[in-house]
Structure 1
């Protein structure tokens, strides 16, 4: 088995990468910067490509370079985890910076869809190929101040629903909400001015009450689900509602 993972340098992405690598699964990490700690711990099984996923032209060029196919090789079991994501801009629609909208849509929607299509084509020979979009409850429940974030997560949810209907042989896909995790994004949410994000107090309460799950625990459960027999039964799922196999 081999895995392609976006946003592997921090937070949930770093924890997912560590979980996969600790199980002797080679990982190709795609992010703007490298993960030096993981590279030192897993020099033979971690490959990294420096890519700004908000730069659609750069990602398209990388996909055309053959680097993805080179990593996949003749592996018969492959997974793609579209984990990288951005929250900004936050606030009422009239306050949004247009360049920030474009960056977030590129990272949260365009990059996952490009990678999914390229992965499915390059992995056509594989007996078991799986695509996981890391989604959010925000894609299923509208939240004031988060119109861009909500819309982008709803987009990958619906992409998984439609792609599952294609019934591509040996391909399973799921857009999975991982729950509320103690990451930098949560800190970013709590630092948002309340006038831009009316529900800030709710998220401050998650931290104060110890409701946040560690990235390491979430990554372990996410990888267990991704590699388990249940994966693909639901095109859209919530990790908090998934029963252990």
Structure 2
């Protein structure tokens, strides 16, 4: 098992929400983190000088992401690591609504962020590291990728794509690669606030999500992040390509 000094992690969407909590948890364990997000996280940078590196990228804009991946910077950043971790956390639930009423540009950006970026990063990570390096890729998925919801055709489809990517990649049996798509449960983040602000006509189940907040059933990001990282670092990570934190650790 690698020590924190020989482990390096990449976390997308580390500027806030679950991504920030995951990055904080990893940094707290002494693991170096590269954060990829549109905005810097000054709080984490001040708490962990020298351990957090940040690259500002709009992961919904595929061309700059491809250019960065092709620049060779990733291989340089991962040099010397015996274990590398990729947590594909960044994602959006919008646009919400029925077909015919969705903005085309918003659809394209959501697809790029939720699906294209994670797949590009996973591919680049493996290409940038040798087979002697242990590679672990965790897609942050959702129960919505396994159960359809009215108004969430985009979100359900993109999370299902991550699940299938993990399943198929596991069958490839790439040496040193362990991959899993993990549903984290319902978390008290800005995404949940956006869901509750959606007109009921676009999302008929809005009341259910309002009740989760009202009844205190949303988990704090730090609590979920600890479980995610525990699972990512555990010996059995990747044994199941698709799983749910609630099944692993209880609701």
Q: TM-score, normalised by structure 2?
A: 0.96
* Corresponding residue for residue 29 of structure 1: 35
Cα drift, residue 67 of structure 1: 1.3
Cα drift, residue 124 of structure 1: 2.1
After superposition, residues 1-245 of structure 1 pair within 5 angstroms as: 1-243=7-249
CA distance in 2 between partners of 1:240 and 1:128 (Å): 26
Do the aligned partners of 2:167 and 2:242 also contact (CA within 8 Å) in 1?
yes
Q: What is the CA deviation profile of residues 59-101 of structure 1, one whole-angstrom value per residue up to 9, with x for unaligned ones?
A: 0000011111111002111100100001111011110000000
**1:116 match: secondary structure:** helix
Cα drift, residue 125 of structure 1: 4.0
Which range moved further: 35-44 or 119-128? 119-128
RMSD between aligned residues: 0.9
Do the aligned partners of 2:131 and 2:176 also contact (CA within 8 Å) in 1?
no
Do the aligned partners of 1:78 and 1:126 also contact (CA within 8 Å) in 2?
no
Q: How many residues align?
A: 244
Cα drift, residue 166 of structure 1: 0.3
CA distance in 2 between partners of 1:123 and 1:219 (Å): 26
Do the aligned partners of 1:77 and 1:126 also contact (CA within 8 Å) in 2?
no
CA distance in 1 between partners of 2:101 and 2:57 (Å): 29
Q: 1:218 to 1:243 in 2, by over 3 A?
A: closer
Do the aligned partners of 1:76 and 1:125 also contact (CA within 8 Å) in 2?
no
CA distance in 2 between partners of 1:56 and 1:243 (Å): 35
Which range moved further: 117-126 or 214-223? 117-126
Q: TM-score, normalised by structure 1?
A: 0.98
* Corresponding residue for residue 3 of structure 2: none
Do the aligned partners of 1:92 and 1:196 also contact (CA within 8 Å) in 2?
yes
Gaps of 5+ in 1: none
Gaps of 5+ in 2: 1-6
Do the aligned partners of 1:6 and 1:82 also contact (CA within 8 Å) in 2?
yes
Q: What is the CA deviation profile of residues 143-171 of structure 1, one whole-angstrom value per residue up to 9, with x for unaligned ones?
A: 00000010000001000000000011110
CA distance in 2 between partners of 1:47 and 1:5 (Å): 10
